[in-house]
Amino acid sequence: MVDAEPAAVSFGRRTRDLAAEKPDDIAIIFAPREGADREYSWATLERRALQIAGFLKARGVGQGDLVIVGLPNSPEHVFSTVAAWKLGACVLPLRADLPAWERERMIEVAEPKVTLGDWPEAPPDVVSSADLDATTDDPAEILEDCVADPATAIASSGSTGTPKIILRPGRGERAVEDLKRPYDRDPAAGATTELIPAPLYHTNGFYLLHMALFAGDRVVLMERFDAARAADLIESHPIVALTMVPTMLLRMARLPDFDTRDFSRIEAVVTGGASCPDWLARRWIERVGPQRFIFSYGSTEGVGITYISGDEWLEHPGSVGTGRDTEIRILDPQERELPTGEVGEIFMHKTDTDEPTYQYVGAAPAKQTDDGFTSIGDMGWLDADGYLYVADRRVDMIISGGANVFPAEVEAALLEHPGVFDAVVIGLPDPDWGQRVHALVQPLDAAAAPSVDVLRTHCRERLAAYKVPKAFEHVARLPRSDAGKLNRARLVDERA
């Protein structure tokens, strides 16, 4: 007898089930930048989602529509997302502090039915958080179960600044038993608590928060990441899992009391989204233990994913792991497969589905081979055991004097200096070299910033001569988003 497939449950129905099962249990703990943490039960989450769903329905939102949620990290962001799913709508989280011109272009590409956001110059049809607050006394009427298809989209401007919407095809439903996590946990252990430090407009924050809630877990949502605040939350709540981009890991590792903080309850620290310097990875592995530190590599497009635990990483330092339900190829510009250890473009193919994993709105599809392997533009190589190593983005690579320089490698070397708080490396036009390597450095202490000579010597001890920056520029702050990203092209234009 063949076992029946686990029943899929819609995202909107799942909160209803959990609210009925454990109404008074805490679903969300919101950690604002200032003030005390605020707790929201499953019953409150369901009630507020239904109230906002009624409000959106009155504005015409229904099956197949798109709703932009342009709010900062907040309970209202979560309530509104669940509300839209209850109506069968697709949700596009949007960065709340986008410049008006960029936000307007993104909205034009997305063509939403309703947009939520708090912007001084917003058109009158934009729904504000005050409008949402006004629904707290509205009836919470049960709705007919709807399944969004697709359920989610993510906005991206990439390195070029061109607006692009990445739709994730697939119905907004899951079988709870089939829920995959980047770390192993015994389901019999019951509900757990996860820290969400990332912004909800980013894939990591949005996906991980809602999948944790779908699993019936509690989430601690930070309004905005702050290293000391994150450490406080880990100590004060029974947090067992967190996912951070390397920039966040670096900020925490720079805390003066990093080694004495109580991280004993942590079962998994997952990192991805950018290259993690080897020295920083070793610092965290020493801090939480190799089996509790996990590297992940993938993309919003969902064309493939890799994982590697810290103990494996120590045997393959620098790797982002092997494919999980994913085949990997390294190809040259003519799409010929390259030998082990040679850098080329990373192409990936999901082996557990034949369906498309993404659709671009506002941009041409990503590069794809005739047999279905897709590249999102990253460069890397495979070792003899099939472990993947990521060099950098193809568009970020600097060609100086005919040699390839990957900014991530130079940045990792700079960030190893204890006086460097942040760094980014770009290629500037040069009449002799084609491009010259230029480093922007944010010191840990502006009054005691490491000198250019100190930084140059530090880099020469760690890098080949042609990779050492030709110039070092001290800056008060690098313009990173809350997701740790920045626009290199804009930095180049400002200096070129």
pLDDT of residue 1: 46
Dihedral angle sign, alpha carbons of residues 59, 64, 68, 69: positive
Give residues with Cβ within 8 angstroms of 451, minimum separation 6: none
pLDDT of residue 272: 85
- pLDDT tens digit sequence for 375-409: 988 999 999 999 999 988 888 889 887 788 988 89
* List of domains in the chain: 9-382 (3.40.50.12780), 397-495 (3.30.300.30)
Widest CA span in the chain = 73
Mean pLDDT value of segment 104-120: 93
Confidence of residue 147 (pLDDT cuts 50, 70, 90): very high
Residue 2, Cβ density class (10 Å: 0-12 exposed, 13-18 middle, ≥19 buried): exposed
Percent of the chain beyond pLDDT 90?
74
* 198 touches 245 (CB < 8 A): yes
Residue 244 pLDDT greater than 80, yes or no: yes
pLDDT of residue 124: 85
pLDDT of residue 185: 57
- pLDDT tens digit sequence for 317-352: 999 999 999 999 999 999 999 999 999 999 999 998
* 108 touches 81 (CB < 8 A): no
pLDDT of residue 190: 66
Mean pLDDT value of segment 461-474: 92
Residue 182 pLDDT greater than 70, yes or no: no
pLDDT of residue 452: 95
- pLDDT tens digit sequence for 280-324: 999 999 999 999 999 999 998 999 999 999 999 999 999 999 999
- Model-wide pTM > 0.85: yes
pLDDT of residue 253: 95
**Cis amide bond preceding 339, omega within 30:** no
CA distances from 422 to 64, 254, 392, 462, 489 (A): 42, 11, 17, 17, 18
